[in-house]
Chains A and B, each alone.
Chain A
């Protein structure tokens, strides 16, 4: 079997494998390696805040659709479950970043608070979905507050990186 595979093919296989490993290593190391300084770290914080805000908006749309009877409750639950995963992922992402400067640390702190604060309201949506039908006002208000906090935190992070004027 290996005998009639030409040598060149075997060499080519080895080359392709080596290229894959190299590419894999680059992809794996890439994100960690470039986030060395604070600005990059804060950009990453901002990305996580975006993800968190997206999760909150997803939960809000799901609640609205469910409240008007437009979304089956299993589908709504699956949607919000995924949103909860995204929101906790963002907290994890922000929490494991390190920053050196005082300002950057302050911005990171605020971002972490806002991101953590978004997890609760999203989890509460799943409770609301599972419970007996009731008006979604409280759930929606909590989500709105979370969204506002995320927005403020993001603005502060961007001010710190100099992306938006103070």
Chain B
């Protein structure tokens, strides 16, 4: 019994630590430093959305014993699933570039070695982990260390902000120095960051990796419904720390290093060290997840054998796909592109790709032939449809807003 409890607790903790990735870190800090807490509602909308779709795909994996993407290909046919594959693969690789860049930036904070030098090292380390380390070990390690990001929440409390003023910011619909289009551009970016497509593919494939069955449905639901919202709170804490310290100082976040300034002011060297551990763990965990996701989606679409539960020799093309993805990521970062800019673009393009990746999950979760008695109920379908509308609006608005605001200017 206590062992069971331990497993559940571990799942929830890793969900919290695993929720935040480079996109969340950067976007929340940028938004907090420029708009205060006036965009917190977007994080809430995004968290509910990721809960809805992660729960659906986890259910598909647990009930059918197969990953979402295999079923999407089978159910929707090669054309529709192919579009889905292209969109999610492109966004996932872009996200991977952002994550590897994020690891490098975070390591720079602890070493003063330039982040460009860290990129190949980080990629090599990622590959070794993906090749050698057991799925559950790398998931739990990254998730638990990622919990160190709680340091941001601690920092907010230590800073002792004027809570009434922060509350007033939550109710605001704009910031004095920013235009309406910029506000909505960052709303879309924040939404894309919270709902990054790879999370759902990873969640369902991870369910297959860990051999979920119908009896694990309750655990899966708990992981999602407790872990993700608490992870969302971490996002809000990052935005709040930036809103309390950086916004009044006139600092608009454009580097990861600036995230440590509020933490330093609040908790000193020790808390900064804790947060840097969290930054490295969160970006590494997300880099592992995105790399795996590129392998999962490709292999599941093309019918290759896949999975960390197989030895690399038994799933060679799956591992090759991941190596190629890592090489692409290193190649892009070696062009001296700014990883923060890549991250900002990745969350916006995530928003563009959201309908293509999430709609098929909604379709499959409604198919009684796969789902049997666990087919979507009224409430899930209502939420699914509401989010369908939000996803389409965000996707359609993303590129025009990007052009009008010159990517947030």
The short answer to whether A and B are in direct contact, CB under 8 Å, is yes
Chain A residues at the B interface, C-beta cutoff of 8 Å:
5-6, 8-9, 12-13, 16, 23, 26-27, 30-31, 47, 50-51, 53-54, 57-58, 60-62, 64-65, 69-72, 74-75, 77-79, 81-83, 85-86
Query: Can you list 17 A-B contacts (CB < 8 A)?
Result: A6-B78, A8-B79, A12-B79, A13-B82, A27-B407, A50-B250, A54-B252, A61-B251, A65-B264, A70-B267, A70-B272, A74-B111, A75-B260, A77-B112, A78-B109, A78-B112, A79-B261
Q: Are B82 and A54 in contact (CB under 8 A)?
A: no
Considering the chains assembled together, what is the distance between the CA atoms of A20 and B28 in angstroms?
Answer: 27
Considering the chains assembled together, what is the distance between the CA atoms of A77 and B113 in angstroms?
Answer: 10
Across chains A and B, the number of contacting residue pairs, with CB separation under 8 Å, is 101
Query: Inside 8 A of B245's CB, which chain A residues have their CB?
Result: 61
Q: Are A58 and B258 in contact (CB under 8 A)?
A: yes
Top 10 closest A-B pairs, CB basis?
A: A82-B255, A79-B257, A71-B264, A65-B264, A74-B112, A70-B268, A9-B82, A70-B264, A57-B249, A57-B251
Q: How far is the CB of A135 from chain B (nearest CB, A)?
A: 19
Query: Inside 8 A of A6's CB, which chain B residues have their CB?
Result: 78-79
> Is B403 on the interface with A (CB-CB < 8 A)?
yes
Q: Contacts A71-B272, A75-B109; is A86 near B249 (CB within 8 Å)?
A: no
With both beta carbons as reference points, the residue of chain B lying nearest to A29 in the complex is identified as B403
Select one of A9, A47, A71 contacting B260, CB under 8 A: A71
Secondary structure dominating the interface of B = helix
Secondary structure dominating the interface of A = helix
Q: Which of B83, B258, B267, B403 has the most CB of A within 10 A?
A: B258
Q: Are A72 and B272 in contact (CB under 8 A)?
A: yes
With both beta carbons as reference points, the residue of chain A lying nearest to B106 in the complex is identified as A78
Q: Are B261 and A65 in contact (CB under 8 A)?
A: yes
Chain B residues at the A interface, C-beta cutoff of 8 Å:
78-79, 82-83, 86-87, 108-112, 245-246, 249-252, 254-255, 257-258, 260-261, 264-265, 267-269, 272-273, 276, 399, 402-403, 406-407, 409
Query: Inside 8 A of B260's CB, which chain A residues have their CB?
Result: 71, 75, 79
Q: Are B255 and A79 in contact (CB under 8 A)?
A: yes
Query: Inside 8 A of B403's CB, which chain A residues have their CB?
Result: 26-27, 30
With both beta carbons as reference points, the residue of chain B lying nearest to A13 in the complex is identified as B86
Query: Inside 8 A of A57's CB, which chain B residues have their CB?
Result: 249-251
Considering the chains assembled together, what is the distance between the CA atoms of A81 and B109 in angstroms?
Answer: 11
Q: Are B78 and A5 in contact (CB under 8 A)?
A: yes
Q: Are A78 and B269 in contact (CB under 8 A)?
A: no
Query: Inside 8 A of A82's CB, which chain B residues have their CB?
Result: 254-255, 257-258
Q: Are B407 and A75 in contact (CB under 8 A)?
A: no
Considering the chains assembled together, what is the distance between the CA atoms of A70 and B266 in angstroms?
Answer: 8
Considering the chains assembled together, what is the distance between the CA atoms of A31 and B273 in angstroms?
Answer: 39
Considering the chains assembled together, what is the distance between the CA atoms of A83 and B255 in angstroms?
Answer: 8
Q: Contacts A57-B250, A86-B254; is A70 near B79 (CB within 8 Å)?
A: no
Q: Are A69 and B112 in contact (CB under 8 A)?
A: no
Q: How far is the CB of A48 from chain B (nearest CB, A)?
A: 11
With both beta carbons as reference points, the residue of chain A lying nearest to B266 in the complex is identified as A70
Q: Which of A5, A27, A47 has the most CB of B within 10 A?
A: A27
Considering the chains assembled together, what is the distance between the CA atoms of A60 and B8 in angstroms?
Answer: 45
With both beta carbons as reference points, the residue of chain A lying nearest to B338 in the complex is identified as A85
Query: Inside 8 A of A27's CB, which chain B residues have their CB?
Result: 402-403, 407
Select one of A13, A54, A61 contacting B254, CB under 8 A: A54
Q: Are B265 and A65 in contact (CB under 8 A)?
A: yes
With both beta carbons as reference points, the residue of chain B lying nearest to A71 in the complex is identified as B264
Query: Inside 8 A of A30's CB, which chain B residues have their CB?
Result: 403, 406
Q: How far is the CB of A72 from chain B (nearest CB, A)?
A: 5
Query: Inside 8 A of B407's CB, which chain A residues have their CB?
Result: 27
Q: How far is the CB of A102 from chain B (nearest CB, A)?
A: 27
Query: Inside 8 A of B252's CB, which chain A residues have their CB?
Result: 50-51, 54
With both beta carbons as reference points, the residue of chain B lying nearest to A82 in the complex is identified as B255
Q: How far is the CB of B20 from chain A (nearest CB, A)?
A: 19
Q: Which of B110, B246, B257 has the most CB of A within 10 A?
A: B257
Q: Contacts A70-B265, A78-B108; is A5 near B409 (CB within 8 Å)?
A: no
Considering the chains assembled together, what is the distance between the CA atoms of A74 and B113 in angstroms?
Answer: 9
Select one of A8, A26, A47, A75 contacting B272, CB under 8 A: A75
Q: Are B78 and A9 in contact (CB under 8 A)?
A: yes
Q: How far is the CB of B155 from chain A (nearest CB, A)?
A: 11
With both beta carbons as reference points, the residue of chain A lying nearest to B260 in the complex is identified as A75
Q: Are B251 and A72 in contact (CB under 8 A)?
A: no
List 20 other contacts, CB 8 Å, given A50-B252, A62-B261, A79-B260.
A8-B79, A9-B78, A9-B82, A9-B83, A16-B86, A27-B403, A54-B252, A61-B249, A64-B265, A65-B261, A65-B264, A71-B264, A71-B269, A72-B269, A74-B109, A75-B264, A75-B272, A78-B108, A79-B257, A82-B255
Considering the chains assembled together, what is the distance between the CA atoms of A12 and B402 in angstroms?
Answer: 24
Q: Are B268 and A69 in contact (CB under 8 A)?
A: yes
Query: Inside 8 A of B249's CB, which chain A residues have their CB?
Result: 57, 60-61
Q: How far is the CB of A40 from chain B (nearest CB, A)?
A: 11
Considering the chains assembled together, what is the distance between the CA atoms of A83 and B253 in angstroms?
Answer: 10
